[in-house]
Amino acid sequence: DSGVTQTPKHLITATGQRVTLRCSPRSGDLSVYWYQQSLDQGLQFLIQYYNGEERAKGNILERFSAQQFPDLHSELNLSSLELGDSALYFCASSPTPGGGTDTQYFGPGTRLTVL
């Protein structure tokens, strides 16, 4: 158990809908990262937050957004869902903004299925 929690574990929804994925980082970690893992794209970095502020942005679609709240939990919002958004979404956390020996620890993931 990495200490990172994600809810829900599974989510099934229809095209065009909007969903929210939730992540709680390990105790003491200030950075939260979101990743998408799909069969054809592998593990793709979406976005990073550090202590409530957006820190780095990767391959995140405009239909997706995220935020980190004062208690450091984070939410990833996915809207206007398409079939291709079906994937495993991971949250990871680390103590610092990155660099040095900073290491990411992953949550169990949320499996999103868009029908």
Partner 1 sequence: AQKITQTQPGMFVQEKEAVTLDCTYDTSDQSYGLFWYKQPSSGEMIFLIYQGSYDEQNATEGRYSLNFQKARKSANLVISASQLGDSAMYFCAMREVYTSGTYKYIFGTGTRLKVLA
Binding site for partner 1 (CB under 8 A): 2, 33, 42-43, 45, 48, 55-56, 58, 88, 90, 92, 97-109, 111
Say how far apart CA 12 and CA 55 lie, in whole Å: 30
CB of 88 to partner 1, least distance (A): 6
Comparing CB distances to partner 1, the nearer of 54 and 80 is 54
Comparing CB distances to partner 1, the nearer of 68 and 104 is 104
Q: Rg of the chain over CA atoms, in angstroms?
A: 13
Q: 33 in helix, strand or coil?
A: strand
Say how far apart CA 8 and CA 110 lie, in whole Å: 6
Comparing CB distances to partner 1, the nearer of 79 and 108 is 108
Q: Two tokens at 86?
A: 């079906």
CB of 72 to partner 1, least distance (A): 18
CB of 97 to partner 1, least distance (A): 7
Q: Two tokens at 6?
A: 């994600």
